[in-house]
Structure 1
Amino acid sequence: MTILLYKLLLGLIVGSIIALFSYIARLLTTSGALALIFVATVVCGFGSWPTWGLLILFFASSGCIHLVKKRINVTKTKSLVQKDHTRDAWQVLANSLPAITSLILFYYTENQLFLIGYVSGIAGATADTWGSEIGILSKSVPRSIMSFKQIEPGLSGGVSMLGSVASFFGSLLISVVFWLVYSWYPIFQLPTSLFVIVPLICGVFNSLVDSLLGATLQTKYRCPICDQITEQKQHHLKQTKQISGLSWMTNDWVNFFSGCLTVLSSWILIFYLQ
C-alpha cells in the first residue's frame, strides 16, 4: 500500500505538469486538465511504468498532430462538429475510462487478459484520434461508412483512405511499443505475438465501431439556414433540427461505448487464444 500511495502521488505531480502544459497549449480545457490529472494518477498508481508510458504516448502523439494542424490552419470542420479539438473532461474520460478499468482489474487479479485489455483500449483511442485528426487532411471527400455517400469532412461516421491508414498506424504504434517492453518479461506466459496482434486488431476495430456508431446512433442535426448536416444544436446562431440518431448519443458517448467494446473484444480474444 505504501508503494501504491507513492505512485499515486507521483502520478498526481507529473500528471499536473502535463495537464498544465496541455492547458497552456490549448489542447485541454480546465475540466479536461483536471480529468487528465485524475487519469494520470490512477494509471501511475495502479499500473507499471510501461503502462503509464503508453498513456503519455497516446496524449503526446495526439497533441503533436493537433499542434501541427494548427500551424497549417486546418479549421474547415469547426462549425460542423459537436466540439472543437480542445478536449474537455468528458472527452478525456470517454477515451480512457474503459482502458483504466481494465488496468485496475489487472492490478487486483494479475490476469494478463486485463493488461492486454488496457493496451487495446489505449490502442483504440489512439487509432480513433489519429484517424480523425489526420483523416481531415485528406484531399478526397470522406464517405459514410454505412451508405458510402460523400459527407462533409469531420462529421462522425465518415471514413477516408488517409484516415483509415492513420488509424492503423496509431494502433500499430501502441501495440509495437507494448510488445517491445513486455515481450522480455519472464512472468508472462502468453505468446509474445499476441502482444502485438490483439491490441492492433482491437485498435483498428475500435475506429470501425466508432465510425459505425457515429453514422447510425450519434445524433445529427440540420441547419435551417445553410441546410448543412451538423453535430451542433445551433448553427449560424439558429436552433438546428435533429434528423437522425439518439438525442443523448453524443460523440463522447460514441467514444466511450466503442472503447468498452474494444476492451471487451480483447478479453474475449485472449480468453480463447491463450
Structure 2
Amino acid sequence: MMEPIFIILMIFLTGFVGYLFKLLNSSGSLAAIAVGLAVFIGVGIKGLLLLGIFFITSSFWSAYKRSVKQSVEKKLAKGATRDWRQVLANGGAAGLFSLLFYFYQDNAWLIGFACSLASANSDTWASEIGSLSKKNPVFIRTFKRVEKGTSGAVSLLGNTAALMGSLLMAAMSFWFFRLDIIVGLLIFLFGYVGNLIDTIIGAYFQQVYRCSQCGLETEKTWHCQRPTKRIKGFCLIDNDMVNFLSGLLVSIIAILVIPS
C-alpha cells in the first residue's frame, strides 16, 4: 500500500518541481500531474518511467541553448514553459490510452500509449534540436528555405533528431514492456511517421498570423503589443491541436496495423 502512495506523491512532486524550474506554468503543472496519475493507474510504474523519460528529455532540449533559440521563439505561440494545452497536446493521448488499457487490458492500447509518446518525443526533438541547424529549413509546400520556427518546414538536423527521439521511446518501450522486436521496430517507425504527419498538418492546416506592426509571420495572436491578423490556416488548428492530432492519428493507425 505504501508504494502506490509514494509514487503518487512523486507525481505531485514532479509537477511542482517542473513549476519551480519554470518548465511548466501552474496549469501545465496540474495537467502534468493529471497525465501522470492516468498513466500510473493504467500502465503502472513502467509507463510512468516512459512518460518521465519523455518529459525529462524534451525539457532538456527545450532549455538547451535557449538564448540561441530566442529568434525562433518570436514566431512560436508559446515559449519553453509549457501550459496545460501543451502538456495535453503531447501527453493527453498517452493518458487516454493508459486508461483504456486499465479498463480493457488489451495490448493494443499499450501499443497506442507507446506510439503516442514516440510521436511526441520525435516531434519535440525535431523542433528543439532542428532549430539549432546552421541552415534554414525547407518548407514542404514550396521546397524553398524559410525562417526557422516555420510550421511545416524540415531540416536534416531536425529529421535526424526526430528519428533519434522516436528510437529512444521505442527502445524503452521494448525493454519495459517486453515487446516483440518487430513491435518495437514498428513503434519506432510510427513514432517518426507521427512527426511527419505533424509536419504535413502544420504546413497545410495550421493557423499563421502576421503582425501589423513589424510584419512578422507568427503563430501568436498578439505581437508588438497588438493583435495579429490570421493570414492562413483553419480555425482551432493551432500548434497544440496539430501536436495532439498527429499523435492521436498515428497511434490509432498503429493500433490497427501492429499485431497485439
Task: Judge same fold: TM > 0.5, yes or no.
Answer: yes
CA–CA distance in structure 1, aligned partners of residues 73 and 19 of structure 2: 19
AA in 2 matched with 1:195: V
Q: Provide the alpha-carbon RMSD of the alignment.
A: 1.8
Question: Residue 11 of structure 1 contacts residue 43 of structure 1 at CA under 8 Å; is this kept in 2?
Answer: no
Give the match for residue 238 of structure 1: 226
Asked whether the equivalents of residues 41 and 102 of structure 2 are also in contact (C-alpha less than 8 Å), the reply is no
Give the equivalent residue in structure 1 for 2:42. 46
The partner residue of 1:32 within 24, 28, 32 is 28
Q: Report deviation, 1:108.
A: 1.9
Given the alignment, which residue of 257, 269, 272 partners 2:245? 257
1:161 paired with 2:145, answer: no
| Partner in structure 1 of residue 176 of structure 2 | 181
In 2, distance between residues paired with 1:6 and 1:193? 31
1:214 aligns with 2:214: no
Give aligned pairs, total.
Answer: 260
CA distance in 2, matches of 1:253, 1:200: 22
Give, as a single letter, the amino acid of the residue that structure 2 aligns with 1:229.
E
- Return the alpha-carbon distance in structure 1 between the equivalents of residues 55 and 115 of structure 2: 15
What corresponds to 1:80 in structure 2? 75
Q: Point out 4+ residue stretches in structure 1 off by more than 3 angstroms.
A: 9-12
* Corresponding residue SS for 1:242: strand
Q: Aligned equivalents of 1:238 and 1:66: distance in 2?
A: 27
| Displacement after TM superposition at 1:10 (Å) | 4.2
Distance 1:101 1:215, change over 3 A: same
Check conservation: 1:10, 1:44, Cα contact below 8 A. no
Q: Deviations over 1:124-143 (max 9, x none)?
A: 11001111111100001011
Q: Distance in 1 between matches of 2:33 and 2:93?
A: 17
Change in 2 beyond 3 A, CA 1:182/1:166: same
Deviations 1:36-92 (A, max 9, x none): 11111111122122111100000011112223223x543111221111111000110
Among 181, 202, 209, the residue aligned to 2:190: 202
Q: 2:137 touches 2:145 (CA, 8 Å); kept in 1?
A: yes
Please give the per-residue CA displacement for 1:77-126, whole angstroms capped at 9, x wherever unaligned: 12211111110001101111212212222222221111111000011110
Whether 1:100 and 2:88 are equivalent positions in the alignment is no
How big is each residue's C-alpha offset from its partner over 1:181-239, in whole Å with a ceiling of 9 and x where there is no partner?
232xxxx7xxx123311211111011111111111111101222332211112222233
| Rounded Cα–Cα distance in structure 1 between residues aligned with 2:52 and 2:84 | 17
Residue type matched to 1:16 in 2?
F
Paired with 2:74 and 2:219, the residues of 1 have a C-alpha distance of 9
Specify the code of the residue in structure 2 equivalent to 1:264.
Answer: I
Q: How do 1:17-28 and structure 2 match up within 5 A?
A: 17-28=13-24
1:90 aligns with 2:85: yes
CA distance in 1, matches of 2:7, 2:30: 13
| 1:126 and 2:121 are equivalent in the alignment | yes
Q: What is the rounded CA distance, in whole Å, between the counterparts of 1:206 and 1:145 in structure 2? A: 16
Q: Structure 2: which amino acid aligns with 1:217?
A: F
TM-score normalised to the size of structure 1?
0.89
Q: Distance in 2 between matches of 1:213 and 1:80?
A: 17
Q: Could you tell which deviates more after superposition, 34-43 or 144-153?
A: 144-153
Structure 2-normalised TM-score? Answer: 0.94
**Percent of counterpart pairs with the same letter?**
33
Q: Structure 2 unaligned runs (5+)?
A: none
Q: 1:55 to 1:83 in 2, by over 3 A?
A: same
Letter in 1 for 2:242: V
